[in-house]
Amino acid sequence: MGIYTVHMKGNLEEPSVAERAVFVHERFGWAAFFFGPIWLIWHRAWFALTIWLFVQIALAFTIHLTLLHPAAQSGLEFLLALALGLEATSIRTYVLRRRGFKLIDVVHERHIRDAEKSFFSRWMPPARETISPSIQAVRPDLVGLFPSAGA
């Protein structure tokens, strides 16, 4: 089972705000682990990207000055990628919060489509059936536009 946090931006009373709902799966970020800087750019995490770049530059500078053995570089790169994968959902929720999104709900479902169904069934008011005006049966004693005086 997965845990999804639901974030929304804007006036929550308007029904159109639900179209911009963002569901964040609370789990290890495999995409962030394998494609760190690309993932950060994709999610517009500029502050985290800046920190990632400074760490990469510091790591390269340290290895260049031979303060660390070059074989340690792969281990440190792995640890950096692991940290980014572990913190991916925290970074994503931080970016959403900075963009004005609010945490609205937490949904516990297996798949994203089930989480969306569960959330929107609670969030949206139940659909009211539109009552169509009943068509009255035509009375045979009515002729023309107006009924007779005795009708």
- pLDDT 10s digits, 66-122: 777 777 888 889 999 999 999 999 999 999 999 999 999 999 999 999 999 989 888
Residue 67 and residue 77: Cα distance in Å, rounded?
16
- Sequence-ordered list of residues with C-beta below 8 angstroms from that of 120, at least 6 positions apart, any chain: 18
Residues in the chain: 151
Q: Is the pLDDT of residue 32 over 80?
A: yes
The residue-averaged pLDDT of 52-64 equals 89
The CA distances from residue 25 to 2, 71, 84, 87, 143, in Å, are 7, 35, 15, 12, 67
The confidence band for 20, taking pLDDT boundaries of 50, 70 and 90, is: confident
Q: Is the pLDDT of residue 135 over 60?
A: no
Residue 98 and residue 3: Cα distance in Å, rounded?
22
> pLDDT at position 68, please?
78
> pLDDT at position 48, please?
95
